[in-house]
Chain A
Amino acid sequence: MLDNIKEFASEFFVTGDPLIYGADVSIVLATLAIVFVLTYFKKWGWLWRNWLTTVDHKKIGIMYILAAIVMLFRGGVDAVMMRTQLAFPDLNFLEPEHYNQIFTTHGVVMIFFMAMPLMFGLFNIVVPLQIGARDVAFPFLNSLSFWLFFVGAMLFNLSFVIGGSPDAGWLAYPPLSGTQFNPGVGQNFYIWGIQISGIGSLASGINFIVTILKMRAPGMTMMKMPMFTWSVFASSTTIIFAFPILAITMLLLFMDRFFGAHFFTLDGGGNPMMYINLIWMWGHPEVYIVVLPAFGVFSETVATFARKRLFGYASMVFAMVIISIISFFTWAHHFFTMGSGANVNAFFAVTTMIIAIPTGVKIFNWLFTMYKGRISFPTPMMWTIAFIPAFVVGGMTGVMLSVAPADFQFHNSYFLIAHFHQVLIGGVVFGYFAGLYYWWPKMFGFKLNEYLGKWAFWFWNIGFYVCFMPQYLVGLDGMTRRISVFSDPDWTGLNVVSTIGAYIMGIAFLFQVAQIGYSIFRHEKDTTGDIWDARTLEWSTPSPAPEYNFAVIPQVHSRDEWWEEKERRARGEQPAQYGPIEPIHMPKNSAIPAIMGACWFIAGFGLVFHWLFFAIPGLIGVFICMFARSFSAHKAEYYIPAEEVERTEATLRGSV
C-alpha cells in the first residue's frame, strides 16, 4: 500500500531537480502566507464579495492585470534561467530536457498568460469608460472569461510541479508533441491550459465587439471613437476570427493524444504539417491581436502628452482595419521551409511585405502628432518614444525575414528570435507598460512613482538592446534556437553579452515591483480624475471611477470630447448638463463564473491524467452552471437609487 502511494507520488509530482524543489517550497510558503493574511485580517468574505464574484469591468480588469504581472514574473524567471544556461553552457545549469521545458513554458506563459490577460485587463478598464458606457455588453460573460483564463493559466502552471512541464516548443508541433515521442502528461497540460483560456478569450472578443458596436454614448459615431477603442475593436475582430481555429487545432491534437486518432501522426495516413498550417492560421493573427491594442495605447498617450489632436485619425483607423484583415493572409511565412513550392511562398512573401505598409503609416502618424507639439515626458510618454525605434528596427528585420529565399537562411536561427522579441517586447510590452502607467491613476486613484519608474524604464531599454542586438549577430553567424549547448567558441562572447542584457531587464522588473510597492504607500493622489490633462471621456469621471462609471451618460459631439468640454469650460461656458440623475440599472455579482471555472479546472485536470472520474463530474458541473445561469439570469439585475448616486457623486466630486 505504502509502496503504491510512493510510486504514484514519484510519478505524479515532479522530482529530482533542486530548482523545482526550491520552487515547491516557495509556492507552499506563499500560499500559506496568503491564507494566513486573509484569515488573520478576516478578509475572506471581502475577497469573495468584492472581487471573486464581481462583474464590474474595472475590477475584472485589475484582476487580469494582477495575474498578468505574476505571469510576467514566471515567464521572466524562465528567460533568465535560459540565458544563464546559454552564457555558461558547460556548467550544465539546466539539463537539456529541463531546458526544453523552460523554453516551452516561457513562450506559452508570455503569450497566452501574460500578453493576453494584460491586454484584456486594459480592454476592461478602459473601453467602457472611453465610450461612455456603464459596463461591457455582457458583464456575466466577462467575469466568466476572466475565470476561464485564470483556470487555464493555473492548470498550465501546475504542470511544473505536478506531472511535468510540456517540452515541445510553444506551439507544440507534432509529431514531437504526439504520444509517440511525448508520452507524458506535459503536453496534455499544454492542450487544456490553452483550450480553456482560449474559450475565455473568444468570449471576450465577442463581448468587446458588441460593447463597442452597441454601447457607445449617444453622439459617438464610429469615426468619433477614441483610437484605443478602435484598436480594441480591430483586435477583438481578429480574435473572433482566429481563436476558433486554435480551439479546433487543440481539439485535434487532443483527439490524437487521448483517443489515438491520426490527424497529425506519422502513421495511419496523418500529416503533421497540417498542424503547422492550422496553428499558424491562428498564430499569425495572434501577434496582431496583441500588438494592435499597443498601437491604440500609443495613439492615446502621444496625443495627450503632445497636447495635440492625433494626426491622421482616418488613416489610423484604416491602417488598423487593414492590418487585422491582412493578418489572416500571411501565415505561411512561418514555414517557408516546409516545401510548398515557389507559388505559395511568393504569395505569402508578398502579403507579408504588404502588411508592413499600414504599420509604417501609423509610425508616421505618431511622429506627425508629436511634430510641433508641446511634449512632456512622464513615464507613459517615455515608453511611447522608446517604442518607435525599437519597433521600426524589429519591423525592418521582419521584412527581411519575409523574403522567402533569404528566410531559408534565417529560419529558426537567433536572428528570428531577436526579431520577434524585438517586436513583442518593443511593441507589445512597451505598449502595455505605457498603458499601465497611463491608466494606473484611473484604476487606483493615484499615480505611480515617476522616479522609480524612470529607473525601470532605462534598465528595461538598455537591457533590451544589450540582450537582443547580439542575438541578431549570433543568428546570422548560424546559431539556431532551442539549443542548450553549443560548440562554436565564437558564439560565447555574444551569448554572454545577451545574458547580461537579460539580467538588466530582470533588474528593471524589480524596479517596477518596488515602484508599485512604494507608490501604494507614498503617492500623488489623483483628485481631479484627469491627472494627465487628457482628451477622452474616461478622464471625465472621478478616479477610481464609481461602479456605475457615469452618473449621467454623456452626450458626445467630437472626437476628443473631454478636451473639447474643457475648452468650452475655459471659454466660460457652463459645464454640459446631460439631464437629471436617474436610478441606474446594474448587473448583480455572481458566483457562477468562479464555480464554473473551478469545474473546468477539475475537468481539465482529469483529462490531463486520463482520469474520467475527475473529468466527467467536472464537465457535468460545467453544464449545471450553464443551466443555473440560464434559469437565474433574469433575476441578476438591480437598480441603484438616484439618491444614492447623488450621494456618491457628491463625495467623489466634493474632494475636488
Chain B
Amino acid sequence: MADHNNAHNSHGGERHEHGSLKSYIIGYIISIVLTIIPLVVVMNHMMERTGTIIVIMVTATLQFLVQLIFFMHVRDGEQPRWNAITLVFGILILLTIVVGSIWIMGNNAIGMKM
C-alpha cells in the first residue's frame, strides 16, 4: 500500500513518512526530558509563581509539538496538509475558548467584588 501511496503522490521526492525507529526514540527521550523539567521545578520550589507557570506551559507546549512531529507525523502526507490547517484553526479556537473565558469571567469576578 505504501508504495501505491508513493506512486500517486504528485510531489516527487516528498512522500508519506511513517517515521523511523530513530525518530520515535528521539521523540520519546525529548518527551521524558520535557516532563522532568517542570516536575523538578515544581517539586523543589525553584522559582516563584509566575516563573513556574511559564516553565510549565512552555515545556507542555514543546512536548505537544514533539508528539505532533515525532509521533503523529503532522508534517507528512499529501499537500495541501488539510489536517495541519484544521489543527492550526483548532488551536486558534482553543485559545479563544480558554483565554476568552478567563478574561470575561475574571472581569466578572472583579465586578462582583466592587
Contacts and interface: CB of A to CB of B under 8 A. Distances in A.
Judged by CB atoms under 8 Å, the answer to whether A and B touch is yes
Interface of A: 209, 213, 237, 240-241, 245, 271, 273-274, 277-278, 281, 325, 328-329, 331-332, 338-341, 343-344
10 contacts: A213-B82, A240-B86, A241-B89, A273-B105, A273-B108, A325-B89, A328-B96, A340-B105, A340-B108, A343-B107
A341 B110 contact: yes
Main secondary structure of the interface of B (DSSP, over half): helix
A273 B112 CA distance: 12
A340 B89 contact: no
B100 A281 contact: yes
B73 to A, nearest CB: 19
Nearest to B101: A277
A237 B97 contact: no
Contacts of B103: 344
Contacts of B90: 241
B111 interface: yes
Contact of A278 (B101, B107, B108, B112): B101
A351 B64 CA distance: 31
Given A213-B82, A281-B100, A340 B107 contact: yes
B104 A344 contact: yes
Contacts of A209: 86
Contacts, number: 45
8 smallest CB-CB distances across A and B, nearest first, come from A340-B107, A339-B111, A341-B107, A241-B93, A340-B108, A340-B104, A344-B107, A213-B82
A274 B101 CA distance: 8
Interface of B: 82, 86, 89-90, 93, 96-97, 100-101, 103-105, 107-108, 110-112
Contacts of A344: 103-104, 107
A573 to B, nearest CB: 30
Tell me the interface secondary structure of chain A in the complex.
helix
Contacts of B112: 339
Contacts of B111: 339-341
Given A273-B105, A340-B105, 10 more contacts: A241-B90, A273-B108, A277-B104, A278-B101, A281-B101, A325-B89, A328-B96, A331-B100, A341-B107, A343-B107
A482 to B, nearest CB: 23
Nearest to B109: A271
Contacts of B108: 273, 338-340
Contacts of B93: 241, 328
Nearest to A245: B97
B96 A329 contact: yes
A513 to B, nearest CB: 41
Residue among A245, A338, A344 with most chain B CB within 10 A: A344
A587 B93 CA distance: 35
Contacts of A240: 86
A278 B100 CA distance: 10
A329 B89 CA distance: 13
A245 B82 CA distance: 22
Contacts of A343: 107
B105 A281 contact: no
Nearest to B111: A339
Contacts of A325: 89
Contact of A271 (B86, B89, B105, B107): B105
Q: Which of B89, B100, B104, B112 has the most CB of A within 10 A?
A: B104
